[in-house]
Amino acid sequence: MNRERIEHAAHERVHFHMKVGFTLFAAIAGLTVWRRLIYTNARNTPGWGYFVASLLMLGLTLFQGYLGGELVFADGSELRPPGKELNRLAKRGNARRRSLAERARKKAAENRARTAAIEAR
């Protein structure tokens, strides 16, 4: 992240967004383990506790999305601005497509010449 482009308060919110993301990851992992334990035991229904925990995790996910949107659209924070690397990759991709198209044209010309030679016999 380019720290010079955003103010200190926005930078703090970026770190808060990251911490919420780690918490969300831990919550998803915890619910996964909890659900696995439920289905390996004799009791095959998750129950109200699991339901409430899932709703809390849903709320945390929505908050994470809202916070990320605010960071990008209100504060101007972004993961990486487009730059030379992106342009270099695009040019390399275009060159590859051009070379493939040239090979296809050459192959088509060879096939036409071969067909014309066969028809001439």
What are the extents of the domains in the chain? Answer: 1-81, 83-121
pLDDT of residue 88: 59
Dihedral sign, Cα of residue 39, residue 40, residue 43, residue 49: negative
Would you say 24 and 64 are in contact if contact means Cβ atoms under 8 Å apart?
Answer: yes
Q: Which two tokens stand for residue 10?
A: 């926005």
Q: Which two tokens stand for residue 65?
A: 């999305």
Q: Calculate helix-pair angle for 48-73, 8-40, nearest 10 degrees.
A: 160
Q: How many CA atoms lie within 13 Å of 63's alpha carbon, on the beta-carbon side?
A: 15
Note every long-range contact of 52-55, with CB atoms under 8 Å and residues 24 or more positions apart, other chains counting: 53/27
d(CA 61, CA 24) in angstroms, rounded, equals 7
Mind listing the pLDDT tens digit of every residue in the chain (121 residues)?
445 556 777 778 888 999 999 999 999 999 999 988 888 887 778 889 999 999 999 999 999 999 988 888 877 766 555 555 556 556 666 666 667 677 777 888 888 888 888 888 7
pTM over 0.85: no
